[in-house]
Amino acid sequence: MSALGLAAVLSGCGVGGGDSSDVTLTLVAADYGNGAADSSKKYWADLVERYESDHPDVDVDVSVYSWNDVDRKVKEMVDAGNPPDMAQIGAYADYASQGLLHRVGDLLSIPVQADFLSQLSEAGEVNSVQYGMPFAASTRLLFYNKSLFAEAGLTPPETWDELVECAEALKADGVKFPYALPLGPEEAQAETLQWLLSGDGGYTDIGGTYGIDSTENVETLSWLRDELVGKGLTGPVAPGELDRAKAFEAFAAGDVGMLNGHPSLMEMARKKGVKYGMVPIPGAEGETPSALGVADWMMAFEKNGHRDEIGDFLDFVYSEENVLDFSREYDLLPVTNSASRAMAASGQDKEIKPFLDQLPLSEQYPVGKTSWAAVNAEIKRKIGKAVEPGGSPAGVLGALQAAAVREDSAG
């Protein structure tokens, strides 16, 4: 699954292409849609048509795959010695560490490279060199069901204690999931990091070293175990078995009082007629100082050459118009300063502005670590056990820290 967690169901399908050009560029991209009607295939087809009309000597052949398949597809191509010219997927660091990627500074024009949001550019670096280009971003807010809150006479929580009080009142009213806590394997790393940040912790310390088993993190998960899960406030599905997609579906069905959500949940709820509100994530003592930020990545492989053509095409991809179009189509946040300013100033984007406001101060996954892919997989597999009644947050986090240190050393 992607860091954004936007699963889709399309299998691969090529768009663009032709027979008469001097150079054909290949791009493997992820699908952010939920079916044929809003597939990313349409976005890329329009973009490629406009680019090729001004560049008759270049064809761009785009293959779009679901998030269930796209990372594996690129890995298979790389392992077979036939990487695409470009890939838009969930992580880049493994390929950068193998020396397979172009440096971003060798591809993009200076104005385009400088337009990336600074914290996303830094997240795209390995050993202080940028190889990953952010492609789409999101942050998190606490979503709440306005109708359920009104019936219970509640106001949105600002602290953990207030969140528990709200959840207890919702449970008393028969709400199925007072607070949905998706720590299932689909996207447990996101829900976990958001809670760790709320407790003034995180996956790494200020120097970038893994600190998964920090005192703050143990205290946060112990609180979740005792105050939410242990009190039966997270619903009938054990958090370790509840996936993010299922939690979002339950919210859109009116069965969830509160949960952490990204912008795509807005459209899901609207389509089902659920009245929702959004507020900053509650923290232990007040609003969380840093929200979770997630980015997906574009990268360019060196093997086939075509550096100049790739760079020119990516300059077009990252134009303000195209970044805005993609962000608006899929309820995502732009990754460039120019598009962010345009969105912040536009009345049509006012609902997404609270997410946009959080992005500059958001905390990213440690995607620049080549160990992150393996650590991420371990978190997804194990973290749910930490909050089970009788579970050991210190034991689970300690095991994850040991695994992270081993992976980091191996990398």
- pLDDT tens digits for range 141-159: 999 999 999 999 999 999 9
Q: Which amino acid appears at position 288 of this protein?
A: T
pTM of the complete model: 0.84
Q: Whole-angstrom Cα distance, residue 223 to residue 227?
A: 6
Position 207 scores a pLDDT of 85
- First and final CA of the chain: distance in angstroms? 22
Position 135 scores a pLDDT of 97
Q: For residue 142, give the 3-state DSSP assignment.
A: strand
Q: Whole-angstrom Cα distance, residue 245 to residue 84?
A: 30
pLDDT for residue 100 is more than 90: yes
pLDDT for residue 289 is more than 60: yes
Reported as a single tens digit per residue, the pLDDT across 26-62 is 999 999 887 777 889 999 999 999 999 999 999 999 9
For residue 283, name the pLDDT band (cuts at 50, 70, 90): very high
Reported as a single tens digit per residue, the pLDDT across 215-272 is 999 999 999 999 999 999 999 999 999 999 899 999 999 999 999 999 989 989 999 9
Distances in Å between the Cα of 259 and the Cα atoms of 62, 102, 117, 337 are 36, 39, 27, 29
pLDDT for residue 210 is more than 80: yes
Across the chain, mean pLDDT equals 91
pLDDT for residue 379 is more than 90: yes
pLDDT for residue 137 is more than 70: yes
Neighbours of 271 (CB within 10 A): 9
Q: Strands, DSSP E only, in 76-228?
A: 86-89, 125-126, 129-130, 133-139, 141-145, 177-179
Position 15 scores a pLDDT of 53
pLDDT for residue 13 is more than 80: no
